Amino acid sequence: MVMFLMALCLSMFGLAVTALAFGAATRDERPAETAQPAIRPSLPITIPAARFFADLPAVPAVPLAASRPQVPIEVLLLQIDRHVLLEQAAAESFVGFPTVASLHSRTTSPLVH
């Protein structure tokens, strides 16, 4: 009986410590008004400093309209449709005749990274 009471007391103590730790971990210490700072749009767009995982040189901000010509949306939709059809055809051919070579072959779609 004494061992049962000791196990029960230790279980209650462990439950209390767990509840306190969970409460401390999920408590938000910041007030509600500082939890979401106001977002101000800035002109011109600036590129953040390079980080250790992306040591690429900074590219000056160029307006999007000046760097690329306008392409009609129909042309883009046709390119995406062609890409989807090529990928579906590749998947169907692999399902029909699965080989290692067809699994690792490159796609003929121009929309590849």
Tell me the whole-structure pTM to 2 decimals.
0.34
d(CA 46, CA 48): 6
Chain centroid to Cα 92, Å, comes to 29
The tens digit of pLDDT for each residue in 51-89 reads: 655 555 666 665 555 566 788 899 889 999 988 888 888
d(CA 29, CA 25): 10
pLDDT at 52 (0 to 100): 59
The tens digit of pLDDT for each residue in 2-46 reads: 999 999 999 999 999 999 999 888 887 765 555 555 666 555 666
pLDDT at 50 (0 to 100): 55
pLDDT at 35 (0 to 100): 54
